[in-house]
Amino acid sequence: MSPQNSNHFRSLTSIEQLQSDLLNGSMTVGDAFEDCVSFINETNATYRYLTYLDECALSSYERSRVSSEKFEQRSLLDGVAVLVKDNIDSADMPTTAGSLVLAQLPHPRSDAPVLAALRAAGCIVMGKANLSEWSNFRGSNSISGWSAVGGQCANALNPRRSPGGSSSGSAVAVSLGVVRIAVGTETDGSLMCPASFNGVAALKPTHGVLSTKGVVPIAKSQDTVGPIARSILDLSRAFITMAGLKNPFSLFDSIKEYTKETFETTKTPRIGVASSSLFGYHVRTDEIVNATLKELSKRLDVVYDCDSGERNALRVSSELEYEVLLNEFAYGIEEYLASRSLPSHVTGRALNWLVNENRALKDKEMGLFGQELFESALERPSDLSSLRYLQALATNRSNAIRRLDRAFSTYSLDVIAAPTISPAPLIDERLGDFVLGAGYSIAAVSGYPSLTMPVGDIDGLPVGLLLIGKPKQEIELLSIAAVIEDFIAFEHNGS
């Protein structure tokens, strides 16, 4: 690629602009691919957001085309380079969850459905994104963004700062502009946290809307796949495509039209602010989010204190959630590993094999933190029969749903807003992760959709606004987020 085309590629502001350039011939898919590879080679040594680069990805894309060499847009993401988190199965690449143990295994037998959907849409799957090893579910003092396979991923805005976890590499690559779209997964905050730390947008869809088959699991009642992007409209393209929704172009246009109608005051989204239970852990974060909401109230309907003055109204029990995660991991990891080609000598519980393999690789795997969570999961049955587990699941989830539904119905809300998380801390290899607070757990436990988007910064560290939506109302959630993004841009630019 010529330097002129390379600079043009990196200056692209949206997928819409990229596809327009592909359609008019000012850029080719090959140009975009080559520059993406070049950008990765320039930046990955510093930020460590990648575990595997597929340099044959362009060939795979070209083999999928049945028409002439001229680009023809067939989907909202056609011709777009993407990265997927390295816990999502791919038949042509390693799937490691950041673990040297899984890295020794043959490739998975098939693509995860969510990855297959991206390929079918004409995405160029560039490779696998680094992550917090085992999605931060191996040791109690794990370090976000670190994996034995990928090393320590670094924050895109400040490499001394945490990239967040566990979808670290996905968020960092998008923030740097290496790709416009990356795919991550979330159990509780694994999309929201790194997106917020790196100043990008992410969507956790309603639990169950996107398939988690072929994804290295933690907890089947909370695990969710979701996209990360640099804008809400790009995020919308990714979700619509990944979900395989009907009439995708019309749906995407409806999101843009919703923004236009809102600015013409024919639609006014109603936003509830969880002032009592999801604020209060970081003063300057609160100030930025409250200032954003105050500006939004000039155009939108903002309802304060939708948690009715109750400090714990929209919080969940971490103790009950911990019990659910341990039991479901003990069950889910056996099911997942049965789909992988384990060594012939492995008998009994596969989790026991993992624990022993980590001990054998202690110098490389456990120099920074241990595997207490794995060992605790071994103490749980692998068949989800525990009464203690069943009670914890029923209690925590029903409480979360009841509390959210009460807020939505009492105040006739479309979404609930709060700060996403405190700003990114320094990477600390001795103490592990340290954050002051976050607001996303109730969406994770309830299974309701949530979204984070950047709304400001503290000394260069991004601050995210969290939006929680109603079940299976992702298009409405994305539409409201697009309105907020446009409004912020309008206020910032003064026009």
Q: Are 51 and 130 in contact (CB under 8 A)?
A: yes
What distance in Å separates the CA atoms of residue 106 and residue 125, rounded to the nearest whole number?
A: 19
pLDDT digits (tens, 9 = 90+) for 343-353: 999 999 999 99
Count of positions (residues) in the chain: 495
Burial of 141 (0-12, 13-18, 19+ CB in 10 A): middle
Q: Indicate the CATH number for domain 3-252.
A: 3.90.1300.10
User: What amino acid is encoded at 179 in this protein?
Assistant: V
pLDDT digits (tens, 9 = 90+) for 421-438: 999 999 999 888 989 999
Mean pLDDT of 106-126: 97
Residue 386: active-site member = no
| DSSP codes joined into one string, 384-450 | S--HHHHHHHHHHHHHHHHHHHHHHHHTT-SEEEEE-BPPPPBP-TTT----S-BS-HHHHHHT--E
Q: What is the pLDDT of residue 2?
A: 41
CA nearest neighbour of 164 among 202, 128, 126: 202
Mean pLDDT of 332-357: 96
Catalytic residue of the set 99, 132, 144, 190: 190
Mean pLDDT of 98-109: 98
pLDDT digits (tens, 9 = 90+) for 235-288: 999 999 999 999 999 999 999 999 988 878 777 999 999 999 999 999 999 999
Catalytic residue of the set 85, 128, 204, 470: 85
Residue 166: active-site member = yes
What distance in Å separates the CA atoms of residue 266 and residue 246, rounded to the nearest whole number?
A: 26
Q: What is the pLDDT of residue 263?
A: 79
pLDDT digits (tens, 9 = 90+) for 432-476: 898 999 999 999 999 999 999 999 999 999 999 999 999 999 999
Q: DSSP label at 135? A: G
Q: What is the pLDDT of residue 494?
A: 58
Question: Strand order of the sheet with strand 50-53?
Answer: 50-53, 124-129, 81-85, 181-186, 224-229, 201-204, 450-458, 461-468, 415-419, 270-273, 301-303
Q: What is the pLDDT of residue 291?
A: 97
Catalytic residue of the set 166, 168, 221, 441: 166
> Token pair for residue 346?
């492995």
Q: What is the pLDDT of residue 102?
A: 98
Higher pLDDT: 65 or 33? It is: 33
Q: Are 202 and 184 in contact (CB under 8 A)?
A: yes
Domain ranges of the chain: 3-252
> Token pair for residue 456?
């400001």
Mean pLDDT of 370-377: 98
pLDDT at 60 over 90: no
CB proximity list for 257: less than 8 A, separation 6 or greater: none
What distance in Å separates the CA atoms of residue 312 and residue 399, rounded to the nearest whole number?
A: 11
- Among the listed ranges 4-18, 161-175, 416-430, 451-465, which one has the minimum average pLDDT value? 4-18
Mean pLDDT of 44-72: 87
pLDDT at 9 over 80: no
CA nearest neighbour of 459 among 224, 172, 239, 161: 161
Residue 318: active-site member = no
Q: Report the percentage of the chain scoring pLDDT > 90.
A: 88
pLDDT at 67 over 70: no
